[in-house]
Structure 1
Amino acid sequence: MKRLTPAEKIQDDYEAKLVSADEAVKVVKSGDQIHLGLFCGVAVDLERALAKRAEELTDVTVCTTMWSYKEPPEILKADPGAKHFHYCSTHLTGTERKQNKAGNCWFLPVQFRENPKFYEECRETFDVAMLQVAAMDASGNFNLGPQVAEYWGVLRNCKKIIVEVNQNMPVNHGQENYLNINQIDYIVEGSNSPLPTISAKEASDAEKKMAEHIVTRIESGSTLQLGTGGFPNYVGKLIAESDIDDLSCHTEMFVDAYLHLFEAGKLTNNKRINQGKMTYTFAMGSKELYDWIDDNQMMQVAPVDYVNDVDVISQNEKMISVNSCLQVDLFGQVNSESSGLQHIGGTGGQLDFVMGAFKSKGGKSFLCTPSTRTLKDGRKESLILPVLPTGSIVSTPRSAVHYIVTEYGAVNLKGRNTYERAELLVSIAHPDFREELIEEAKKMGIWKTSSKVVNA
């Protein structure tokens, strides 16, 4: 028998494991636990094939971190009553929120940093993990693309791994960022669907003012963590137009703002840890962003339990964290996840970066919200509140909060007592609500004239 060369052996293994999407999903049985992949790595053709089997299956739990596409998963279209599939996500997008309201999407509360351990030790073994990957290289490796996040918690705790090859998946350099053919059970050559993109909205007038308050507090030599949307992009725009330079990137989500900063010559990545690298756990943005990432040695994707580790974050001097939130109460508690009982999004890495930035030498974190929102009937509602409404989630506790930002200013709550916090927060509330907030603070015993709760 002829001895195969390594390249011939790899090709033989590839052909032996190559099947259609319809054939691959036949391994799924009633009662199984399935994972669909992460971010740009969500398995598209495999998910569609699974949806075709809806009537054959019952009690199948399907997990993902975030459904990245505008159209809902085909399994939910095929099973709107959730009779066959139980769809779960650790961070709800707008698409998933609609499905949550419809009653067929459930939220998994987690601390994003803990997701690898959560999936490996706290949930049942996955029967099947499905994920999109880049084309195999000459050594039999499939690059995971611009996301690692919690993959290894899933992959270490599953019985079968199916990869869906997408030629559009950018090859990403970094840590633990590939699967070898020997670790894979089935290979599907997908339809090469375009990766999901995010088009940031134009920043609002309030967001532009918030960005101005933040940028005046950023120094050259800082390391940046920015979220997604028009607001952080505008922060990046102001930095690009400023005298601030010699900046670095260490972030949970890698977005287009970093591309714009690089093009402006602001990003040197001259940082203490992972010097010369832009470090992140997943990327989502424009096609231009994915093209920049592809086979770029400057990029460093890594597992979320590394990227979001407070001690790792804090090794970056002058760490700057910028995130949005939904509501803040006069104690300084921050809700970034719900509107009352209605779920909006997951915890993500907000708390990790708030704590890591403060622990960093010269670091700062900024949690930002417009001072008001307009209700359907046209009335304005203050987003600085005496107390958070029933059902609200405390995403960042008052003990961890550093700066709170609205269009009326940025206030530092660290080292402030309860009445000082209340005074500072009232000062950045909308003027129409300040007197009302002061009266409520007095009743709550957190005003400078009294520490006693009125009518307790």
Structure 2
Amino acid sequence: MTPVQTLKTAAEALAPLRSGQRVLIGSGAAAPQGLIEALAARARNLSDVEVLHLMTLAKAPYAAPSFQGHVRHNALFIGANTREAVGAGFADYTPCFLHEVPGLFRSGHLPLDVALVQVTPERDGRCSLGVSVDVVKAAIESAAYVVAQVNANMPWTEGDSTVAVSDIDAFVESDTPIFEFPVREATAEALWIGRYVRELIEDGSTIQVGIGAIPDAVLAALAGKKDLGVHSEMISDGVLDLVNAGVITGRMKSLHPGCVVTSFCMGGKRLYDAVNGNPQFLFHPSDYVNDPVIIASNQKMVSINSALLVDLTGQVAADSLAGRLYSGVGGQVDFVRGATASRGG
């Protein structure tokens, strides 16, 4: 149940927002669209509000040029819904190592006034952050004012994924479908890349893989491999397919054997149903999952990431294209460092 004394409408919950405050929005498929719409409506009457988040699948009305002077978006990772705004100068990008972001919130180096998140209904005084734990747990623990959109459709995930009801100042009920991330049809080039990457991954390896057509093609190419493990910033439908096929077992993992470790997932409803209450899938915050020291403690750790450009010397550009920011750094550097330090990685 939602505590009745803190149950509000979205407009009521956003009423305390003031000019000049910094607002963190929940990530990925767990972005609280109802609260985002209320934020946009409230911000029209305010000035110099900073909106901060990782990539979200929600609409981002606050990134439109018409919000200049009212809201300035600051991306920690650039998604499709804010890329144009960043490129046009209507929004900012702050480069960072993703594993350090929760510490920036807690230390006050990046203080948060408000956090807008999405959670499951309460159980025994706690709510699960569901499909996106990443930097959101630290935001809830650090922000002065926390509003949670309570959604009965949100999966209850295992791991370090819950927060106390007492950490949330206002609840807004909205049982909307969780955002889904469609699988794109792989191109011939992506399939070739997947087959090539397959040859570089030994049985018993623990892998990290990103999001998009090429990572999906890589996962599809791993059919037939044995006893792979997963320690990855995010997981998608392709990971679930390999779990169901018996390719990903985690049996050889040196850390959390038998379990898939991640900080968030984006995919279809079948993925969200699979992680619901499933102890095989452990969701932990980014300062754990993306910590290079933790990553390196996985033997035979393999980091698989996308590149936008590669030159003849092997230098890789993954954050920008043709002089314009595309996505930013994200967790790629965290995993490259960790895999490099891994024994056999």
* TM bin (shorter chain): over 0.9
> What's the Cα RMSD here?
1.8
Partners of 1:350 and 1:75 lie apart in 2 by 27
Partners of 2:255 and 2:323 lie apart in 1 by 41
Partners of 1:272 and 1:41 lie apart in 2 by 30
1:170 to 138, 155, 164: 155
Partners of 2:4 and 2:164 lie apart in 1 by 15
Query: Which residue number in structure 1 is paired with residue 245 of structure 2?
Result: 264
Check 1:102–1:195 CA distance in 2 against 1; reply closer, same or farther (3 A cut).
farther
2:327 to 337, 345, 352: 345
- Alignment partner of 1:157 is 2:157: no
CA contact (8 A) 1:44 1:132 kept: no
CA deviation profile, 1:393-444 (whole Å, cap 9, x unmatched) = xxxxxxxxxxxxxxxxxxxxxxxxxxxxxxxxxxxxxxxxxxxxxxxxxxxx
- Alignment partner of 1:142 is 2:131: no
2:294 to 304, 312, 323: 312
After TM superposition, list the pairs within 5 Å mapping 1:343-382 onto structure 2: 343-363=325-345
Check 1:251–1:146 CA distance in 2 against 1; reply closer, same or farther (3 A cut).
same
2:35 to 43, 46, 59: 46
Letter in 1 for 2:269: K
After TM superposition, list the pairs within 5 Å mapping 1:17-416 onto structure 2: 17-69=6-58, 72-77=59-64, 80-121=66-107, 123-137=109-123, 139-175=124-160, 177-190=161-174, 192-240=175-223, 242=224, 244-270=225-251, 271-363=253-345
TM-score relative to the length of structure 1: 0.72
Partners of 1:76 and 1:299 lie apart in 2 by 34
Partners of 1:124 and 1:210 lie apart in 2 by 39
CA contact (8 A) 1:33 1:124 kept: no
Q: What is the deviation of 1:39?
A: 1.6
Letter in 2 for 1:27: P
Q: What is the deviation of 1:155?
A: 2.5
Higher RCO, 1 or 2 (CA under 8 Å, sep at least 6)?
2
CA contact (8 A) 2:209 2:234 kept: yes
CA contact (8 A) 1:38 1:66 kept: yes
CA contact (8 A) 1:37 1:131 kept: yes
CA deviation profile, 1:145-179 (whole Å, cap 9, x unmatched) = 1221112432233211111101111110001x112
Partners of 1:74 and 1:339 lie apart in 2 by 25
Partners of 2:333 and 2:22 lie apart in 1 by 29
Unaligned runs of 5+ residues in structure 1 are 1-10, 364-456
CA contact (8 A) 1:133 1:169 kept: yes
Bigger drift between 39-48 and 269-278 goes to: 39-48
Check 1:353–1:303 CA distance in 2 against 1; reply closer, same or farther (3 A cut).
same
Partners of 2:30 and 2:283 lie apart in 1 by 14
Letter in 1 for 2:4: E
Q: Give aligned-pair identity as a percent.
A: 33
Q: What is the deviation of 1:115?
A: 1.0
Q: What is the deviation of 1:282?
A: 0.9
How many corresponding residue pairs? 344
Partners of 2:336 and 2:297 lie apart in 1 by 14
Check 1:183–1:345 CA distance in 2 against 1; reply closer, same or farther (3 A cut).
same
Partners of 2:335 and 2:110 lie apart in 1 by 29
Partners of 1:330 and 1:132 lie apart in 2 by 45
Partners of 2:203 and 2:110 lie apart in 1 by 47
CA deviation profile, 1:190-232 (whole Å, cap 9, x unmatched) = 2x22222211222222222222221122221111111112222
Query: Which residue number in structure 2 is paired with residue 429 of structure 1?
Result: none
Secondary structure class of the residue paired with 1:75:
helix
Partners of 2:198 and 2:231 lie apart in 1 by 18
Unaligned runs of 5+ residues in structure 2 are none
Check 1:230–1:125 CA distance in 2 against 1; reply closer, same or farther (3 A cut).
closer
TM-score relative to the length of structure 2: 0.94
Partners of 1:187 and 1:81 lie apart in 2 by 26
Letter in 2 for 1:35: L
Q: What is the deviation of 1:134?
A: 0.8
Secondary structure class of the residue paired with 2:249:
coil
CA contact (8 A) 2:117 2:136 kept: no
Partners of 2:173 and 2:323 lie apart in 1 by 42
Q: What is the deviation of 1:362?
A: 2.0
Secondary structure class of the residue paired with 1:202:
coil
Letter in 2 for 1:40: A
Partners of 1:81 and 1:37 lie apart in 2 by 20
Partners of 1:330 and 1:102 lie apart in 2 by 31
